Structures are given as structure tokens and as C-alpha cells.
Structure 1
């Protein structure tokens, strides 16, 4: 029996594992709720339909409640919301989804019939109308009748007398259904469904598009982008309402016997009221800063706006009400900093700056948004500029945010510290020759000596790679493989200080040129470097979309078709692939604490084991019961300490809690559990707080070796309670010794074993 001499620490440290705020396996969604499409007031509570779900605002307490796909919605792209006057909130979304909330039971129900219909791809729910037990559900292609008492559908009015009309509005008038569309108005019989009349020309108005319908004092009023007309109770010929001429009308409402009109043109809106159709309109609210969409009428109306939540006039000042959240639903890049704060950028389409999420803060301040309106250093040529699309971790707790058009900014804490662009020192070259100051930075990384490297897209002079020597000077390393080409995207730096560069932006899908690398100090074997530069081609696809350095120092490159794995970056001529990923578009790669790879594709998230040979898990919208926001995954990063996987999409941010595991750079004391360890056991003993490549020895109190094995990785090791011969050990106290790979570090712990 082998014996070793060693020093046993007199104290036993059993540290509780820090748990994240989420339960293991719990999903969350984070969305922008500033784009409000519709709102309803129930007692003192406002319910708002937004592009990121529903928010509820208590006007008395000022408290927000968010409702998303996690809470019962089938889509977060909500188009309309209404109250039936009894006990139900009706929510209509894109794709034909209807969700109903019972105010008494506090339960959500789904009505999927319209969403499941196949005769039209235009199925979004536009509005709800109520008459007794009947709910008229207005979708883009028709009006469906739903009976609440039987909880079932009746007829659908779909033949509207026009070719492929898009429905916008509806009104009930004299047992007739009036339906507004982009082609005009259809009048149908409620009893038979027959089309009684159609109208597509209106006096004094060129357009046939109808934006709003309302029955006011037994008179049907139709609003259009160019004014309004009315239909008298006897004479059905449309007549102009001259006092509303040239108004771009969005919505018509009645309140306290008055007619309220919401009109909007560009970034402004006006609410006017009329005591009769021939009255001179009185303006009760006007705003020149934001686009109005819908409203709740009154002397101080609530306005649903396109970009700033609900607007409410408080004296002479407007206040804007929306819950704390990200500035956009676009999440094209993610990076978790050393404090567990998530940094995000939306990309070109979002044009929303960048945003950060701190899960340790209270709900109302977890998100902070950075835009050039509030941070002048983000501006370009003293003008608003918010096209930031890529986030990278820097040295000393800093973050770097790359832009599409004006270089990169460095952020420390909540301060935008500096910018490097065409005019800075050192300067960054433009992506194109004209305009020369159009700088597209595509990634930042820190080498093993603490130097910061910046890579940018450049077609003019090959100056695609810059090393910052200090804050005001740097050294450029021109591309020697393709001197006139430099459309690089993304960068990781390996343990040898070799810079690895991708060649394709996932959402642009530029023609790829393979995987590039650069090392200024040494030649790389197995390749043909040019002054330190090299290129790897003949891949399954030459478009390199994503890059990652794993815990063992291997390079993973996500391609337009599968991945390439370089086990030894000093010898890139030898490479592997992953069979489970061979048919996938690999848009994102993240490495968890046990070296598993989380892969973002166009078909969801795939998790493979450390060498990519086994598919461990897959997550799609369907398999997660719609907890994952989208199958088109744009970015992934992991908070290893809290055990949270963040998944970026163009429909918002999803998060999934996993077991926290983080490999240490140095030993700090073992965590062992369960303790006591009862044998036989369904689960092994877990040993935490290990450095990478640790060796574990289990010993008796006399120092005899029971078993020795290598840690499984990710800062953890597992012992099944058996000795080196495979037999379960006896009851007693056992010491655990963990050794670093180089033998210079040792840490110990102990466990009590109880045999049943």
C-alpha cells in the first residue's frame, strides 16, 4: 500500500456554494418595453402592449410588473390589449396569438386557433371589440367571432370585397360590421356575413387607407392618414369632416360625450377633442418629441408612444413611463465582466447604443443604457451616433464597445473613458477610402502581457491590427496575407499570445477567407506565416463567424458550416471538427466552467462536451416551451460565478441558470459535498475550488493512498466513493489532497464517509 508524508491542515473548511438568484434550470427573458402599441386602464392600473411583452403600471404606487413569454405569453411582440369590462384582459400578438388573463384567478390562457391557421401568413391581432358574451377578434386577414361562455370560435368574416386587404380597425353599427382596411371600408351583415357595401373613395381625401373607425352619437366616423369622414344614420354617403382636414389620424375615441382624436406625423402627436362633428377642435395635448400610436382619452390623456413608453402630461411637462430594461431587443454581442455584469450591444439595425445588466441590483435599476445623447464621447463629429455592435472584455475591469462607423470606446464602471477612431492618437484607419473616417472596429482582446489589441475592418491599407503601447500610442501590424483585404471580425488571443481572427460578420455573411492568425514574436509551425501572419483555409466553410479559447487552450472557430478545432494552437496544421455540429451555422461559442461548449446556431442552442464529440443538450423555442426567445442565436456568454447562461437574439435576451462552476487560477481552499458522504450514493462527491489540470488523491487518516485520479475539469472533481480496486470504501474520515499540475500548489480537505 502506498504511503505519503504530508501536512494535514488542522481545520476543516466546508464553504457553502454561492447560489445565483435564479434556480437551476430557470429561464428569464429581458426585453425592451418602450415601444407601446396599445394600452388600457383598469381602475388605477395601466396595462400596456409593447414590442417586448406587457407591462403593468400601478398609477397609485408607481410599481411596474412585467409579463413576457416566461409568464404565459406566446409571443412578446404584442400588438393590442383590451379589457372586456368584466374580468378578462385580452392580449393580441404577432402571428395570431391571443392570451387572456383572468383578473380573478390570476391565470393566463392561450387561444391558438388564429395562430394555427394556414391560409394566411398575415395573422397579427389588431384589436378586440366586445358585445355581451361575444368577442370580436380582429386580425390582419379577418374578423373572428369568439363566444366567452362556450370558450369557442364561431364564424370568421374574411371575404371583405377587396383583394388581399390588411385590416386596421372595426366598429359595430346598427347590427352591421364595419371593417377598415388599407383598401377602404367593408360593411357586412352580422347575421349572414354577406358584404353589404364597400367604400374606397372619400371626399377631399386621396388615400383609401382607413386607420380608425368609431361610432359616435349613432354616426360612423372613419379616420384616415389625410383626414376624416362620417356616415350619417340615414344617408350612407361619406361626408368630409372639414375641421379635421389634413390630419393624419391614428385613433378615434369617445369619452364623456366628447370625440377624441389622436393624430401624428413623424416624431410628434396631437390629441384634440370635439363636442360635435362640426365643432372646432380643441387641442388637449401636443408633443413634438415622440411619435404617438394609441391613447386613453381624458382631460389628461395617456399616450402610447413608439419609443418612450406611455406619455402623460403632468402640468406643462411630459413624463414618460416604462419599466427599467434594455434599450433594444437586439442582442448581437454579449460579454460578462469580472463582477458578473453583462454588457450588450445591439448592432446596426438597433442603433441603440449599448447597455449593461447588473443582476445584483434591484429590478428598477438593473439595466443602464448608454447612448450618445447622454455620453457625448460616443458621438461622431459632434452629432448623435449610437451604432455600437460589439462588446469585448479589456484589462483592469474595463470593457470595449466597438462601433460600425466610428471606432471603439473604452468603458470603466459606468464612465465612457476614451475613444479610438480616425482622429485619435493612435488613430484607426477607415474601413473604406471614402469617407476616410468610417471606422469599423470588430474586436478587442488583451494578451498575456496585459497589452490591448484592436482589430478593425479595413480594405484600403491593411492596417487591421493595432497594439496599444499606452493610452496615446500604438503599433500597427499590417496584414501580410491579403494586404489589400482586411474584413476581419472578432479576435481571441491564445496562451502563446497568438492573435486569431475571424473573417465574416454573421449577420452580413461576407465571403469568407478562412481563419487568420498573427504572432509578432514567433513563427507558427505547420503553417506559412508572412511576417508573423498566417491563414488556415480548406475548411468545411471559409466563413469564420465566431471564435473561442477553451479552458485547455484549444481554439474553436465557428464556421458557416460546422466548426474547426485547433487542439495545439502552436501547430495549427493539425485540427479537428465536431460531428454533432457539422451541419450547423455556428454564430456564437461560449465555454462554461467544465469546458463544455455552448453553441449558438440559427436553429437554437447546442451544448457539446469538451472535445465536441457528444451532443449533451439542445435548446430551441419548441423544446423549451417558448422560454427561449428565438432559434436564431446571435451571441452567448456565461456568468460562471452565478451560473447564468445569457443568450442574445434579435427578439430580446434569454437567460438560463446552470450549476455554477468556475476554474480557479490558484487554490483558495477546497469545497467538498455532500459531507457526510453516505454510501452507496446516487450522486458522487463533488470537490470544488480546483485549478485547471489538478490531480486528486484520497487518503486515509494514516496517510495511505485510497485512490488517485485527474480532476474532470472546470474547477471540479468527482469521487464515487470507491478505492483504486473499485470497491466502496469503509466508514471513516478521509482526507482529500489536490495538487496543481506543476506540483507547486497543494490544498487539502476532508470528508466523513458513512456506509449504510
Structure 2
């Protein structure tokens, strides 16, 4: 029930963003406490750049980093710090109001105040249902405290101080760029150029705008990719030409045989020009209105430019499609390329936690199970918090058999310092760390088979899972004869036939039975390798479908085994549990169970209208269901909804949940969404039958300014917990969730307890002679 409290608190914070100004949180990423979130977004490359006098702002696809120009110290701006969305289109800094305008790909907008971190959300375009068609915001131009937006439907004037729309001009064509020049507001549309005096009495009337054409020295029917005023001239990017307009004549001052002008910026002493076609481009600098532009991209290798600015002293900050943020100082001809500790990219297909590390595999196939030939590799968060990446650059020995591509599965050895990665193209990789020697298993150097009709040149791995003996079970995807394989603890490979194919995710239950997701709406296959893993004579199979079970559909996405040994199956129409034991191989005795749940007064099957894509079980045996519509946290039995996380009521980046894994030591829930990786600190940790040798509480001491939850770690699973003052007065009684109890620092009447020492008593199921003893002392300061 405590989980509901934390969700409500997160909802309140996000709600502030919609109702007015909300103060941003800390600019650091501390170790989070219970009920808090943190993001693990990629900070390796930028897509847009803006600046204030002392700061430069790099936008990634998902967030913003503020960098001090002199000291290079960063401040990260994400949903955790108050931004309302993810998926950034562009940014712009208004120096008069000292605020950053953040425009998202869905046309949502935020105004972020640099002085206090306050955020105001402006969904006026994104949520306006009367705006039909193209809502995209293509360009931003500032004039004083106002921002002019070039939109798919027209021009919007925005008051940056008040966070209000001043007017909207609806045009008959998409507006690609806007610029303020010599008292006029210029707009470039796909049908040509228009302008209007800035002080016009009725700018919302598009009929008052002057159409510009050959008589004014401008072409008809052409749109400028960008425009900007510089040195008393209006500079225009028209296809492969850089042009200068003086009000009556358009002169071409630069051309490229292939690249087109994609941006123009004049935030410093000169004009920065970006040229590009496809993934190739260059950046030039024009030091004076009537000078000739010259290249500035070579030192920083900006060959795939997105955006660039100059700060007034010929120091350039550039965003490029390749890795690293770029800074170029022309006075020294030196380039500085930098990035921040983070995963390389946002896309994650599977998570695994073990050995004090978090492993994030990257996508290896499309929804139709077509390989991607993705070379992103495997991301690893090391015990010291640093992110590393295993890929062809760190481990070139993987390249010969294409073992470096489509690394979409990962499994951590339960007791040895190694892990296994499954490639949807190049077989199985056994590794111990980034840059360390690896061992590969493919159709060319082992008995693993090719993918048959899915690709004879591929050795595809569909899933990986360890059993209790340290054997790793393998779905040899689409293998013609033996799609089930096992790499035994002694290093030998064994193969087994199967009545169905192809096989994807695999999970091993307490009986040692292997549960496989069958691809292409094939249901589930359960396999028993028998008492002798090397003898196929005692093997058993059961193919579970809608015909012989309560599965609502054969479109199965995931499988998980809970702490009681029950198996949970996620489908495109909800979740089903199997509490069968050895009876799973008897159709008439074990058909599974569809839980009946009551949500908002209505009964129905568990998540019957949700596509369950991943299931994780926490230390309290609670079920975390990741769906295309957010996360549902259910009670151990599954029949009570304890919490619901969405992008609307929490800091979740996106509702499309790809995978969830839980660190049972800390209780941190790792969540892979389509917009990036996040984690949330929940209340449950893994408990054992007895308390750990040194249970402890955090925070301890509890200082006067702390209002959050107090966690007591290291308890026996589901222990009864009592907290008293030194005089023996009871202030709290409850039960641990797994191996962790949570106290809010208040007594039974909801009052904060007085300063003093508080004693935590807890039972241990195996400590029957002394069922209750002091395990922790907590100091509270007021």
C-alpha cells in the first residue's frame, strides 16, 4: 500500500508542470531513495545547440545538458529535473527572459528558467484538437521577450515572460522558417516568402501579410531551409545556395555542388552556415556580411552537422550526428570533443542485473523478427556507476562471424564472474567484461545451428536463461533440427529437438522445466530435460495454446517465474499464471489461471485489455507488468493493483515498456522504454529466511529537513517489524516487503516522531527461540 503513496507524490509533482511554474530538482544524480526516479539517458551526441552568455545548451533526442562555457561543468535537464516530455525537436535561448524554450517532436513545449530551474509547460499546440494536419514547429526566432514559431499550420507569437500565445497566423502552407529583419517579420513557406511589419495592428490576419516575389527580388514557390538577419542583410538558405537579401535584390554568395543549406545562425560576431545532404555535410563561417565563407568543420570532424553556434569570440559549439559534443576554438585551431557518462543510445531490448552490474542489450530485430544488423553492442553499468560498452571497437574478435551485431539478449551467470550475450545474427558470446577476451559459439565453430528458412547465414539466438546448476539454456532460433540447446557448466553443448519452432525467450522454473515463448503467435512450449540432461529418452514436452489452456491468445510476449515457483505468462491480451508443478505436462490438470481483479469497482481478467511485454518479480513477490500502456504493479497473487505508472502520472519517459529488471539488493527497478532507460527505487528487496548479519537503516540519522521514507535493509523475508522509542512506546508496526521495511518517521497519529533513538524489532522465521530482537537503532533529529 505504501507504493500508492509514492505514486501519488510523483503525480503531484508532474501536475505542477501543467498548472504553472514548478521548481526544478537538483542538478546532480544522487543515489536515489525510495519513491524516487532517475534517468539513464544517452549523453553522447547532440542534435541542437543554444547559448546564453555563460552557458551552452546541448539538446539530445531526449533531454538537455547545460554546460558552463568556462568550467565545462554540466547540469542535466530531464523529466526528473522538471521537463514535461522527451523527444526534443529543437531548443532556443531567450537572453532577455533568461529562459530556454524546449520544443518536442510532438509539438509540446517547455519554458525552462535558467535562474531557478522552474519549468512551465505549454501544450497549446500539441493538445489543440482544432489544429489539424501538420503541427510541427520548424523554426524559432526571438525578438525581445517574444518567440516567433514557424509551424506546419502558420506562425505563432509566444510571450516568453508570461508563457502565453500572443497570436496565431494561419497560412495556407507550411512555414519552414521565420526571421526578424529591419522591422519586419519574414516567413518562408513552401509557396514562397511573406513579410509583415512587426508592429502591425492585426498580424493574425494572413491577408495583411505581403507576398514577396520577383518584384521584390525573391523567387516564387521556393522555401528557405533557414533565414537569419546579420549585418543589416537577410541571409537565406535556398537549396544548394547561400543567399544574401538586401530588400530589393537576392545575391548568391556561396554554393555547393551537392550539399544544401540546413541552418544559419548569427548569435555571435559572424554567420555560421550548415550544409548537408544525407549523412554528409560541412560547416562554414562568414566573418562579415560581405566577406566569403570558409570551412570550420575540419578540426572537429563535423561531417554530419545538425546545428552550430558561435559565441562572439570565434569559439564554436557544434552538434553532429556522430558521437561527442564538439567545441572548436579558432584562435588555437583546437577541437574539444566530449561526452558524459551514460549508455551509448536510448534503445534497450533486454536488461539483466548481477555481479553488481546492470547489463542492457540493444535491439536485434523488428516486430516481424527481421534482423536489424544493429552494431550498438551491449551497455554495462559497472559497480562504480560508470557506463561501458561492449562492441566491435572494444572486442574486434567478434567481427569475423558477425558476433558483434544484434546483441539483443543477455544473461548473467548466477555464481561465476561472466555473462552471456545472444546475437540474433552471430550466435552466442561468452564474456567477462568490456575489452576482455570473449568466446563465441556459432554454426561455424560449434554445434549451434543456423536459422534455417529465417537465414542460413545466421546463427540466431532467441533467448537465454540459467538453471540452478549453472547451465545456460539457449533458444537456437529457427534451427531446423534442434532449436533447444544448453551450454553445460562443463563447457559442452547439447541439443534437443522441439515440436514447434521458432523459440524466443526462455525461463527456467523451480522444477528445472524450461518455458519457451514460441514465435509468430505460437503460444508456449514447456520442456523437461529429465533426470539425465544427456539422455533424451526421459524428455517431456507440452505445447500450451488457447486450445489446451486458459491463454486468451497465442500471441505470447514474455514469461517470468515468481518466488513461489509459479509461472506468469504475458500475452497481447493480459497475463496468465500457472501454479502447476509437475502437473504442467497434464493438460487436464493444469490449464492455468486468469486472475480476476477489481479496478475502480469493475471486475475483469488481469490486464485483459493490455499487451503485456515484460514481467518482473520483486523481493516481495509483487509482479511488475510492463505494457504498451505503462507499468502495473500487482500484489503477489496478482489480484490487487498496488500501483500504476504512466508518462502522465509519473516521471516515466514513455508508456511503451520494453523490459523491466529488478536489483534485488537495492530494490531499484530498471525500466527500458522506447524513449530511454530509467530506474525507480521501490520498497522491496530480496529477503532470506533469516536476517542478514548487519541490518541497517537509511537515512540514519534522520535529519530535520528530511521528510521521505526511512528504509530498514537486511531483514528476513516478510518479517514482522515493530518500532518503539527507548521507553518502549510503539510508534510503528508492519511487515517487511521481501527483506526491507519502510517507515515514514511518524507515529500512529501521523505526527513526526520526537527527536531521539528508536529501536527496530523484527522477527526471523528461523529465529524461533528469540522471535523478536533489536536489529537496528534509528536516530531522529528535529
Q: Determine if the TM-score, normalized by the shorter chain, exceeds 0.5.
A: yes
For 1:672 and 1:307, locate their aligned partners in 2 and report how far apart those are by CA, in whole Å: 46
What pairs up with 1:328-367 in 2 under 5 angstroms? 328-339=345-356, 341-348=358-365, 351-358=375-382, 361=384, 366-367=386-387
Task: Look up the match of 2:620.
Answer: 594
The alignment partner of 2:636 has SS state of coil
Compute the displacement of 1:50 (Å): 1.6
1:215 aligns with 2:229: yes
> Residue 411 of structure 2 corresponds to which residue in structure 1?
392
Counterpart in the other structure of 2:511: 496
Deviation at 1:233, TM superposition (A): 1.9
Gaps of 5+ in 1: 1-19, 505-510, 524-528, 676-682, 699-709, 719-732
Give the structure 2 partner of residue 70 of structure 1. 80
Which residue of the other structure, out of 328, 339, 358, is the alignment partner of 1:313?
328
CA distance in 1, matches of 2:403, 2:431: 18
1:567 corresponds in structure 2 to: 579
Instruction: Between 395-404 and 383-392, report the one with greater CA deviation.
Output: 383-392
**Alignment match, 2:496:** 477
Are the equivalent residues in 2 in contact too, given 1:138–1:169 (CA < 8 A)? Answer: yes
CA distance in 2, matches of 1:355, 1:70: 22
Task: Please name the residue that 1:512 is paired with.
Answer: 521
- Partners of 1:112 and 1:736 lie apart in 2 by 50
Q: Does 1:617 align with 2:643?
A: yes
1:441 match: 461
1:713 Cα deviation after fit: 7.5
Provide the aligned length of Structure 1 versus Structure 2: 669
Query: What is aligned with 2:26?
Result: none
C-alpha distance in structure 2 between counterparts of 1:40 and 1:454, whole Å: 49
1:53-452 correspondence runs (5 A): 53-86=63-96, 87-118=98-129, 119-120=131-132, 122-148=134-160, 150-159=162-171, 161-162=172-173, 165=174, 167-181=175-189, 184-188=192-196, 190=198, 191=200, 192=203, 193=206, 194-197=208-211, 208-235=222-249, 238-241=250-253, 243-244=255-256, 246-254=258-266, 258-274=270-286, 279-286=291-298, 288=301, 290-297=303-310, 299-313=314-328, 318-339=335-356, 341-348=358-365, 351-358=375-382, 361=384, 366-381=386-401, 385-395=404-414, 396-415=416-435, 417-423=437-443, 425-433=445-453, 435-452=455-472
- Deviation at 1:342? 4.5
Structure 1 distance, partners of 2:452, 2:260, is 41
**CA radius of gyration, larger in:** 1
Alpha-carbon distance in 2 for matches of 1:233, 1:206: 15
| Preserved contact between residue 493 and residue 499 of structure 1 (Cα < 8 Å) | yes
Over 3 Å counting, the alpha-carbon distance change for 1:592 and 1:746 in structure 2 is farther
TM-superposed deviation, 1:68: 0.3
Contact 1:580 1:615 survives alignment (8 Å) = no
Number of the residue aligned with 1:707: none
Change (3 A) 1:326 1:139: farther
Give the structure-1-normalised TM-score.
0.79
2:126 partner SS? coil
Contact 1:465/1:477 (CA < 8 Å) preserved in 2?
yes
The equivalent residue for 2:18 is none
> Are 1:551 and 1:714, in contact at CA under 8 Å, matched by a contact in 2?
no
Deviation track 1:135-193 (CA, whole Å, cap 9, x = no partner) reads 2133343321123455432211221x43xx2x432112344332234555444454244
Tell me: CA distance 1:200–1:76, structure 2 relative to 1, closer, same or farther (3 Å). Answer: farther
| Superposed CA RMSD | 3.9
- Alignment check: 8 A CA contact 1:587 1:600 kept: yes
CA displacement at 1:467 relative to structure 2: 1.4
Deviates more, 1:603-612 or 1:193-202: 193-202
Question: 2:451–2:480: 8 Å Cα contact kept in structure 1?
Answer: no
State the match for 2:530 in structure 1. 521
Deviation at 1:73, TM superposition (A): 0.9
- Report the Cα distance in structure 1 between the residues aligned to 2:740 and 2:115, rounded to whole angstroms: 48
Which is worse superposed, 433-442 or 290-299? 433-442
Of 530, 543, 546, 1:535 maps to 543
Deviation at 1:646, TM superposition (A): 1.2
SS in 2 for 1:590: strand
Distance in 1 (alpha carbons) for counterparts of 2:82 and 2:682: 22
Q: Distance in 1 between matches of 2:505 and 2:301?
A: 41
Question: How far off is 1:266 after superposition?
Answer: 4.3
DSSP 3-state at the match of 2:153: coil
Offset, 1:568 = 2.2
Q: Structure 1 pair 668/748, CA: closer, same or farther in 2 (3 Å)?
A: farther
Structure 1 segment 639-678 matched on structure 2, within 5 A = 639-664=663-688, 668-669=692-693
Q: 1: distance between equivalents of 2:83 and 2:252?
A: 42
2:59 corresponding residue in structure 1: 49
CA deviation map 1:576-611 (0-9, x unaligned): 122332222110000011111000011110111112
Q: Which residue of 2 aligns with 1:455?
A: 475
| 8 Å contact kept, 1:92–1:124 | no
Closer, same or farther in 2 for the Cα pair 1:594/1:125, shift >3 Å?
same
Structure 1 residue matching 2:397: 3-state secondary structure: helix
Conserved in 2, the CA contact under 8 Å of 1:514 and 1:543?
A: yes
Contact map agreement 1:81 1:127 (CA 8 A) in 2: no
Is the 2:470–2:488 contact (alpha carbons within 8 Å) kept by the matching residues of 1?
no
User: Quick one: distance in 2 between partners of 1:665 and 1:407?
Assistant: 40
The answer to whether the 8 Å contact 2:149/2:178 transfers is no
Contact persistence 2:283–2:305 (CA under 8 A):
no
Deviation at 1:299, TM superposition (A): 3.3
| Cα offset, 1:285, TM superposition | 2.7
- 1:715-743 CA-to-partner distances (Å, cap 9, x unmatched) read 4799xxxxxxxxxxxxxx99977445xx9
Question: Which structure 2 segments of 5+ residues have no match?
Answer: 1-29, 366-371, 596-604, 701-708, 723-733, 743-758, 776-782
Distance change in 2, residues 1:427/1:302 (3 Å): farther
Whether the aligned pair in 2 keeps the contact of 1:646 and 1:653 (CA below 8 Å) is: yes
